Amino acid sequence: MAVAAVLLVGGTPQAAHADPPLTVEEAKSQVEQLRTEAAAIDQEYVAVKQKLSAGRKQLATKQADVKVQTTRVNRIRQQVGQVALARFQNRSLDTAAQLFFTEDTDGFLSKVSTVEKVSENQNATLQDYQAEQGKLAELQRSAAIDVASLKKQNIALRQLRKASDDKVSEAESTLTKLTAEERARIAAEEKKAREDAQKAAEAATTSGAITTSGDPTSTDPTSTDPGSTDPTNTATNTATAGSGKGARALAFAKAQLGKPYQFGAEGPGAYDCSGLTMAAWKTVGVSLNRVSWDQYGQGRNVSQSELQPGDLVFFYSNRSHVALYVGNGMVIHAPRPGKSVEYIKMSYMPFNGATRPG
């Protein structure tokens, strides 16, 4: 809340008005937005971290290549020194003069042929040296570029982490503007939402057949809820919760319920959203990329009406959040800072595509 100040307007002191107090709904909206933004930053952080890890491996390989190439160049440099010495020692008489003074013409010409061969080899040695020296210089230049790039990526990681922490701190600051009773009310509402989601998800997985998309609590054909069931699909919009890779991946995710969201975590004690989906599908032999928007491109894209248990469901315009589909419009996910792996209605977030890995 802004601190009241005294302003001088036209020479007359006037008290500035404090910001009006937030309503509970406004505070909830602000906090959710800030925490969602923090989770999106988390995915950017993971992407940069992944790039940094690959860059470090690439740099290590180049540095090893530089070491090998340096040894090769030093060896050829010794040969070049021997070539230079040999040319210096044989510079006194040219071939025509030596032929004039020799008595063994045939023997001398045979030697000349051998010398010319040696000269060719010497030239080849010099050319090899120049080529290998060029390769060494290029490797050193490339490695230096990689070092500079890694430094920039390290800076980017620190900046992203700070940005996320700032979002979380701002969310906490927003909550402190509420009364204790208002904060307790929000906590109670969140608890009830988790319990309701748990019951709906358990009902979806224990029934013989489950609706593959939509909010089971929304049956109004005129509903504009993006997660509501499409009445035109009710005849075919079902899938069993039985076997298959998706169901097994989903079973792993369920075993993680209650584990905390943690920035950049991929288990086993904590997860971020894409860390959870990656770990779940890894248990059935499917390797997913680490970042949510990259996971969207793996497997077969499916429509909302085709969703089956274990499918990856993506949210927000940049697909910065990912969850695993449970059934009856429910997903399981690692939500954002301050929360734990949980069930949630898919309609609570803006749907932006789905993928069936494997």
Query: What average pLDDT does the segment 123-138 reach?
Result: 79
Among 166, 169, 165, 171, residue whose Cα is nearest residue 31: 171
Annotated catalytic residue 37: no
Is residue 213 scored above 50 in pLDDT?
Answer: no
CB 254 within 8 A of CB 198: no
Query: What average pLDDT does the segment 323-350 reach?
Result: 91
User: 24-175, what's its fold?
Assistant: Helix Hairpins (1.10.287)
Mean pLDDT of the residues in the chain: 75
CATH class of the domain comprising 180-218+235-356:
alpha beta
d(CA 233, CA 255): 31
- Of the pLDDT bands very low, low, confident and very high (cuts 50, 70, 90), residue 84 is low
Among 258, 354, 321, residue whose Cα is nearest residue 37: 321
Percent of the chain with pLDDT over 70: 70
Annotated catalytic residue 1: no
d(CA 116, CA 109): 11
- Of the pLDDT bands very low, low, confident and very high (cuts 50, 70, 90), residue 351 is very high
CB 216 within 8 A of CB 329: yes
Is residue 283 scored above 60 in pLDDT?
Answer: yes
Tell me how far CA of residue 23 lies from CA of 1, 35, 36, in angstroms.
Answer: 13, 18, 20
Is residue 228 scored above 50 in pLDDT?
Answer: no
Helix (H, G, I), strand (E, B) or coil at 236: coil
- Range name among 54-58, 112-116, 170-174 with the lowest pLDDT average: 112-116
- Of the pLDDT bands very low, low, confident and very high (cuts 50, 70, 90), residue 11 is very low
d(CA 357, CA 314): 13
d(CA 28, CA 50): 33
Percent of the chain with pLDDT over 90: 27
Q: Tokens at residue 317, please?
A: 């315009």
Is residue 97 scored above 50 in pLDDT?
Answer: no
Main-chain phi, psi angles of 334, to 5 degrees: -95, 105
Among 355, 352, 350, 353, residue whose Cα is nearest residue 225: 350
Q: Identify which has the larger pLDDT, 145 or 284.
A: 284
With 0.75 as the threshold, say if the pTM is over it: no
Q: Which of 39, 40, 273, 326 is catalytic?
A: 273
CB 257 within 8 A of CB 331: no
Give the pLDDT confidence of 103-127 residue by residue, as tens digits: 555 554 555 555 555 566 666 777 7
Q: Tokens at residue 349, please?
A: 């977030």
- Of the pLDDT bands very low, low, confident and very high (cuts 50, 70, 90), residue 189 is confident
Q: Tokens at residue 105, please?
A: 């013409």
3-state percent helix, strand, coil for the chain, nearest multiple of 5: 60, 15, 30
Is residue 210 scored above 70 in pLDDT?
Answer: no
Q: Which of 319, 333, 336, 345 is catalytic?
A: 333
Q: What is the pLDDT of residue 162?
A: 85
Annotated catalytic residue 17: no
DSSP letter string, 252-272: HHHHTTTPBB-TT-BSSS-B-
d(CA 275, CA 80): 56
Q: Which residues contact 284 (CB under 8 A, 6 or more apart)?
A: 245, 248, 249, 358
Q: What is the pLDDT of residue 179?
A: 82
Q: What is the pLDDT of residue 278?
A: 97
- Range name among 10-19, 140-149, 261-270 with the lowest pLDDT average: 10-19
Please identify which residue in the block is written with the tokens 């009241």. Answer: 4
Question: Domain-by-domain residue ranges, the chain?
Answer: 24-175, 180-218+235-356
Q: Which of 49, 319, 321, 345 is catalytic?
A: 321
Q: What is the pLDDT of residue 88?
A: 58
